[in-house]
Structure 1
Amino acid sequence: MAAPAPPKAAGALRTIGELAKDIGRPQHILRYWETRFPQLRPLTRAGNRRYYRPEDVALVRRIDDLLSQQGYTIRGVQRLLEAERAPRGREKSRVDALTEIRDVLTDALERS
């Protein structure tokens, strides 16, 4: 009998089988989630083999928690993830606007 494989490093890529086993869900559920959550995009290699990066693993664990522990629906999780992503764009535009104001004020002070 072969020795068990050593545990993977925290930053290592995970296969769909490894991740499914870790979270206790079948692989087809992870494939379904990929169709429902555009944020979840694992790397795909030859033969459509999926490799989940650490950020993908964290997102899968979060989706699983929201659905199974916190009682969210698929649509509820979609809305939550979309809402979390949207403010970042607004904050960036605010930062850009404030940077422009700062530059105008700096120019005005230099001229006076």
Structure 2
Amino acid sequence: MLILLIPRMDLDKQYYSISEVAKLFKVNTSKLRYWEAQFPHLLPKRTGTGIRKYTPVDIEKIKVLVDMIDVKGLTIEGAKQALNNKGAVKNPNQAVINQLTDIRDFLQVLSQELE
């Protein structure tokens, strides 16, 4: 089991650049941009010239995504489902558990039909 270790950031700072956030999570800036397009709740502020500025709240959202996708191995769709369940991520593996339960039920029915 992997444990997500994120270094502490200067909590007095209000905004972080995309490169600072990417470095913090050891991901490419393109991944952060992609996640922004896939997860509407992740919407960093932008300057007048379009430069993204991430708040500590945005960083916490990214931390959840990194944990679900990069650590626990959920797909983007699985992470979306987990986030949509009750508006919070109580058990990000629930989407996977539901899929496995459906597969088990299908295999049981198939097995009974083959007997």
C-alpha contact (below 8 Å) 2:15/2:54 kept by paired residues:
yes
CA radius of gyration, larger in? 1
Q: Does 1:62 align with 2:75?
A: no
Shift in Å at residue 82 of structure 1?
Answer: 1.2
Aligned AA for 1:75? E
Alignment correspondent of 1:48:
50
Q: Distance in 2 between matches of 1:60 and 1:83?
A: 18
| 3-state DSSP of counterpart to 2:43 | coil
Return the structure number with greater helix share.
1
Q: Distance in 1 between matches of 2:56 and 2:50?
A: 19
Q: Percent identity?
A: 30
Query: For residues 62 and 10 of structure 1, do their structure 2 counterparts lie closer, same or farther at Cα, with a shift above 3 Å needed?
Result: farther
Shift in Å at residue 10 of structure 1?
Answer: 4.6
Shift in Å at residue 84 of structure 1?
Answer: 3.2
Q: Aligned pair count? A: 80
User: What RMSD, in angstroms, separates the aligned Cα atoms of the two structures?
Assistant: 1.7
- State the TM-score, normalizing by the size of structure 1: 0.66
- State the TM-score, normalizing by the size of structure 2: 0.64
C-alpha contact (below 8 Å) 1:15/1:50 kept by paired residues:
yes
C-alpha contact (below 8 Å) 2:11/2:56 kept by paired residues:
no
Alignment correspondent of 2:93:
none
Alignment correspondent of 1:23:
25
Alignment correspondent of 1:71:
73
Return the structure number with greater strand share.
1
Q: Distance in 2 between matches of 1:28 and 1:60?
A: 13
Residue range with higher mean Cα deviation, 70-79 or 10-19: 10-19
Q: Distance in 1 between matches of 2:34 and 2:43?
A: 12
**5+ residue gaps, structure 2:** 1-8, 89-115
Shift in Å at residue 11 of structure 1?
Answer: 5.0
**5+ residue gaps, structure 1:** 1-6, 87-112
Aligned AA for 2:55? R
Shift in Å at residue 46 of structure 1?
Answer: 2.3
